[in-house]
């Protein structure tokens, strides 16, 4: 289960880095549902990229944990 979670987290991290338009559409949809205005700023893009890198590292750690448990 940890192995599968690691793969999912890595995919989400890759999406955050390489598919920022898709992530922005999701963020904008969430904000619209809450009634909050959205503005795509350079800070948002930087935070999304950094979050994606952290997610990839965390996913790799989870993959290694999952492999070592088997």
Q: Which residues in the chain land under pLDDT 70? A: none
Cα(63)–Cα(59) distance, integer angstroms: 6
Q: In the prediction, which pLDDT does 11 show? A: 97
Q: Please say whether the beta carbons of 43 and 36 come within 8 A.
A: no
Q: Whats the size of the chain, residue-wise?
A: 70
pLDDT at res. 48? 97
Q: What is the DSSP letter of 35?
A: T
Which bin fits 27, alpha (ψ -120 to 50), beta or left (φ > 0)?
Answer: alpha
pTM for this prediction: 0.88
């Amino acid at each position: 289960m940890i192995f599968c979670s690691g793969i999912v987290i890595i995919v989400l991290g890759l999406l955050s880095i390489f598919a920022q338009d898709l992530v922005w559409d999701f963020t904008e949809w969430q904000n619209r549902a809450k009634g909050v205005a959205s503005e795509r700023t350079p800070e948002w893009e930087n935070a999304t990229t950094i979050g994606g890198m952290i997610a990839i590292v965390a996913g790799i750690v989870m993959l290694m944990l999952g492999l070592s448990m088997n």
